[in-house]
Structure 1
Amino acid sequence: MSVAINAFLKALIVVPVTVLPILNPIAIAPIFLSMTGPIDPALSNRLAKRIAVNCFFLLLGAVFIGSYVLDFFGISIPIVRVAGGIVVGMAGWKLLNDQSQDKLLNSVAATHGGHWSRDELRRRSFYPFSFPLTVGPGTIAASVTLGTQMPHQPVDFLVISIASAIGVLLTSIVVYLCYRFARNLEKLLGEVGATVLMRLSAFILLCIGIAIGWAGISDLFSELIAQ
């Protein structure tokens, strides 16, 4: 029982710890503000909920279906782990050393600023807010990589799946809270606080990427030796 609980807690923590640094909703929150403009707080709250729901299903699909899609194209799990580990590690390294905002986020913010009607906000709750502003290619790649870590035993698969789903839910809730209280968060953390939090999360992300990649390399060597 203790082994199952430990596995559950580990899977529960790994998903937010891996995905949130790439999502980086704290850093995107100011861009979210500039894109929405001075809209009504109730309308901003509904928009944040829509974005969080969209992100939940995007991440859930990437975690549970992404690996099967890759398997359909004949890409083995160890290769996915190595490639995904490289992507996650590079994302962590970039966040750890990058001194500027992402160019894509800046371009989206510059293109879609100002005052929007409610209908326009509903249409854009998915694009560009949910994708690619929040859940981008790097996040999807990391989520697919996490999905490859699922065990094959039915009981273990069920436990890890439930934990991963809850982890995705927690991640989506963090996205909602960051967007919902973006103005308060911006005042509370300040530029220095947001930078420190991002660097710490980036270092953890780099370590997770190396661990995932090493697991894939170990599997490839095991397959090579077995031949």
Structure 2
Amino acid sequence: MEANKNIATNHIPKHQSRQIPREELKTYPVYPGLPLAQITLVHTAEQLAAALADLQASAVVGFDTESRPTFHPGQKSDGPHLLQLATARHAWLFPVLNHSLPEELKMLLESGKITLIGFETGEDLRRLRERLGVHCASVLDAGTLFASEKRITVGAVQAVARVFGQYLRKSKKVTTSNWSKLPYSDAQLSYAGNDAWVPLQVYLALQG
């Protein structure tokens, strides 16, 4: 997927090419992230309307998906089970129910009116396309905004350290939790919301 032509990326500096070792990362101040109060799991028609209004008012939106993990060789994921989108001040979480997303949301993702900013977006986009029939029109992988030694992929943890000088803590227990099962814990909600919000914050910081 290519970046939206309306969003200039060629002027963004290739910020800090050095891959920061994990032990050094742990010495950095912890990245605070988006508070739980600004993360909404969309259940109702009213919440969906609020989410769409917020997203439609933004040119760029943070993006991620979550899927139930696989643990056995050859086992295929049946995700995504959750789609996360974030504006500058709020993250909206959309559970994938009955293998579908709300039609209004699908239309927005396919319209090209918003550009999705995420990290390592390839698998997320493939699952949305193949499992849900959603073809996202405009996507930018925030990792491509960084120069990196030996072509190492720059993900959210490295990006936050390089741009903000802080450590984005990611719980392996939450990462590998069962995203197909509701309700979610507060830890899951916080994790999922920030997975979409962080790439947007990195992008906006580099733009500035």
TM-score by length of structure 1 reads 0.31
Higher strand share: 2
Structure number with higher relative contact order (C-alpha < 8 Å, ≥ 6 residues apart): 1
Larger Rg computed on CA atoms: 1
Higher helix share: 1
TM-score by length of structure 2 reads 0.33
